[in-house]
Chain A
Amino acid sequence: MNPVITVASKEFKDGLRNRWIIAITLMFAVFSVGLSFFGSVASGTVGFMSLPVTITSLASLAVFIIPLIALMLAYDAIVGEDEAGTLLLLLTYPLSRFQLLMGKFLGHGLILAVSTVIGFGSSAVIILALAPQVPFGEVLMHFSAFILSSLLLGWVFVAMAYLVSVSVSEKSKAAGLSLVIWFLFVLVFDLALLAFLVSYQGDLNEATLSYFLLLNPTDVFRLFNFIGFEDQNVAVGVMALAKSVQPSIALLLLTLVAWIIAPLLVAYRLFSKRDV
């Protein structure tokens, strides 16, 4: 068997064995079903609101959770094997570092794929069952888009976790650095961008500035999920920036894909130079 597949299937089986897959799936299912039906509790109603509200609130929450889960899943991919001594051993097998990294990515990627599809897909199924007024086609389309972008977002952070994992020598450092990355992309970036915008108000073209959002994969993810619903008053904060420019769906997806490939390539380069 191809060594990439061998490594990937071990990672996936590890995901089943240590209950990561079931835990992530359940978490996604609970929070997406919960948001779909109880997201409007604050406004005094219980029940399914509308597809735009559901998807945008799902995206607002997913943008915090998915990167965290992906980082936690994959931060020790290389440094963990190194600490256990198995990295040294694996590299004496007929297996290149590229194949090892790809195998890990395939395995972790598949774990996220299964959890995302089943977890979020279950709430689509429940909406279809409990809210028959919503057209089947729309649920299918919006949820597919949401699941696809969630998956890409997860893979982006798996790739970033590898970047962390190959550049440090201890697991604890990798965990710490992963948290820093999460903090930077999920919280700091938007605040910094808003601060920048406020202090240079008027001097900068809003459209230009909105392209800065492409520098943050979490913003790309949110743009992608907010874009179909611009009539809704759901775009707040930096998302409001993008109202004036409507980046194309293709551009957003390509950006996410680039955000997967770039960290992976850098991680591979660093891994090649890493001493074992």
Chain B
Amino acid sequence: MTSIVQLDLAEKHYGNVQALKGISLTIKEGEVLGLLGHNGAGKTTTMKLILGLITPSKGEVVVLGENPAGSMGNTVRQQLGYLPESVSFYPQLTGREVLRYFAKLKGQSKQHCNDLIERVGLTHAADRRVKTYSKGMKQRLGLAQALLGAPRLLLLDEPTVGLDPAAIQDFYETIDQLKQQGCAVVLCSHVLPGVEKHISKAAILAQGKVRAYGSIDALREEAAIPVIVSATFNEHRDDIVETFASRYAGVKKINARSFELKVDESEKIALFKQLSNINGLEKMDVQSPTLEQLYQHFNRVQQEGGL
């Protein structure tokens, strides 16, 4: 697979402020990278480096084989789509007019605009002025704009803010499609629930550094947050609870028939086997740490390390 984005120890200083302290990331074709972090963690600066809007103070940024801020910048930008965090577009123009303007700048046809309007579900509002749009409609228009010219790299800044649940679902479906078509996507976000199924890997940023970087599974392994397994039996079985309590730490009784316990990821399968051999098992649930928990974990590690 070809590398679409390559950041090599990229640093960015603004005067005395170090916005980025040496970031290394790789994004390949068909990969979706979740760029996560608090405000001020360096997400926006990282995006701007990839977009070629700023140049790194140190280190290297290569996008689609070129320096995005260099003389080949236009070639890069032709193949790149960007959805800014908050954009009000041109309130006096209609959605279709806005999209056509941006399409012309990218050398795209009217037909392509109409297709995109349909794709993002904005057909009914396309000929209304943008100033009448809701936040969700503006986000859809923003997405249509980012998809102009079938980009090979898509950068999306807080794309789901202001969208209703159905629209978020549509949005993630679009991301999954793009991923299959080989488009590389950077999803910049601090809203986490639901995103983990759609990203190939995550980079957790804090204070200008990459705190954790890898697939969700790799992050889970690194964080070593225990998996919570809960089991429910068809009758009152204190004996089972006691048996497990002697073998595992962190057993918690929920009610007469159910209990939950915490185990390491590596012990998970062995536990499943034991539980499934017990007669009368009615239900078994596994709760792996969510991305949100991982995110909190790595931010905590960072804070402790900083003290």
Are A and B physically bound partners? Answer: yes
Please state if A10 and B101 are interface contacts (CB–CB under 8 Å): yes
Please state if A275 and B54 are interface contacts (CB–CB under 8 Å): yes
Given contacts A6-B101, A276-B53, contact A93 B106 (CB under 8 A): yes
A1-47 interface (Cβ within 8 A of B): 1, 3, 6-7, 10, 14, 17-18
B47-63 interface (Cβ within 8 A of A): 48, 51-54
Interface residues on A, range: 20 to 34
Given contacts A14-B92, A96-B74, contact A3 B53 (CB under 8 A): no
Q: How many residues of B contact A (CB 8 A)?
A: 25
The residue that A92 contacts in the complex, of B53, B75, B92, B101, with Cβ under 8 A, is B53
Given contacts A14-B92, A88-B84, A92-B80, contact A6 B104 (CB under 8 A): yes
Smallest distance from the beta carbon of A251 to chain B beta carbons, Å? 39
Assess whether A85 is interfacial by the CB under 8 Å rule: yes
Q: What is the CA–CA distance of A94 and B64 in the complex, to the nearest angstrom?
A: 14
Flag A73-114 by CB within 8 Å of B: 1 or 0 each: 000000000001110111111111000000000000000000
Assess whether B88 is interfacial by the CB under 8 Å rule: yes
Assess whether B248 is interfacial by the CB under 8 Å rule: no
| Nearest CB in chain A to that of B102: its residue | A93
| Nearest CB in chain A to that of B105: its residue | A93
Interface core residue of A10, A14, A96 (most chain B CB under 10 Å): A10
Q: What is the CA–CA distance of A88 and B54 in the complex, to the nearest angstrom?
A: 11
Specify which chain B residues have a CB less than 8 angstroms from the CB of A18 in the assembled complex. Answer: 92
Please state if B105 and A3 are interface contacts (CB–CB under 8 Å): yes
Smallest distance from the beta carbon of A113 to chain B beta carbons, Å? 22
Specify which chain B residues have a CB less than 8 angstroms from the CB of A94 in the assembled complex. Answer: 74-75, 77-78, 105-107
Q: What is the CA–CA distance of A92 and B54 in the complex, to the nearest angstrom?
A: 11
Specify which chain B residues have a CB less than 8 angstroms from the CB of A93 in the assembled complex. Answer: 77, 102, 105-106
Specify which chain B residues have a CB less than 8 angstroms from the CB of A1 in the assembled complex. Answer: 104, 107
| Nearest CB in chain B to that of A18: its residue | B92
Assess whether B295 is interfacial by the CB under 8 Å rule: no
Please state if A86 and B105 are interface contacts (CB–CB under 8 Å): no
Assess whether B87 is interfacial by the CB under 8 Å rule: yes
| Nearest CB in chain A to that of B78: its residue | A94
Q: What is the CA–CA distance of A96 and B250 in the complex, to the nearest angstrom?
A: 60
Please state if B84 and A85 are interface contacts (CB–CB under 8 Å): yes
Q: What is the CA–CA distance of A89 and B143 in the complex, to the nearest angstrom?
A: 12
Given contacts A3-B105, A6-B101, contact A91 B53 (CB under 8 A): yes
Specify which chain A residues have a CB less than 8 angstroms from the CB of B77 in the assembled complex. Answer: 92-95
Specify which chain A residues have a CB less than 8 angstroms from the CB of B75 in the assembled complex. Answer: 94
Specify which chain A residues have a CB less than 8 angstroms from the CB of B52 in the assembled complex. Answer: 92
Assess whether B89 is interfacial by the CB under 8 Å rule: yes
Please state if B92 and A17 are interface contacts (CB–CB under 8 Å): yes
The residue that A89 contacts in the complex, of B54, B107, B145, with Cβ under 8 A, is B145
Specify which chain B residues have a CB less than 8 angstroms from the CB of A85 in the assembled complex. Answer: 84, 86-88
Assess whether B272 is interfacial by the CB under 8 Å rule: no
Specify which chain B residues have a CB less than 8 angstroms from the CB of A84 in the assembled complex. Answer: 87-90
Please state if B92 and A89 are interface contacts (CB–CB under 8 Å): no
Interface core residue of A6, A14, A276 (most chain B CB under 10 Å): A6
Interface core residue of A84, A90, A91, A94 (most chain B CB under 10 Å): A94
Q: What is the CA–CA distance of A88 and B86 in the complex, to the nearest angstrom?
A: 10
Q: What is the CA–CA distance of A10 and B101 in the complex, to the nearest angstrom?
A: 8
- For this complex, 20 residue pairs linking A to B, each with C-beta atoms less than 8 Å apart, are A1-B107, A6-B101, A6-B104, A6-B105, A10-B101, A84-B88, A84-B90, A85-B84, A86-B87, A88-B87, A89-B84, A90-B105, A91-B53, A92-B52, A92-B82, A93-B106, A94-B107, A95-B74, A96-B74, A276-B53
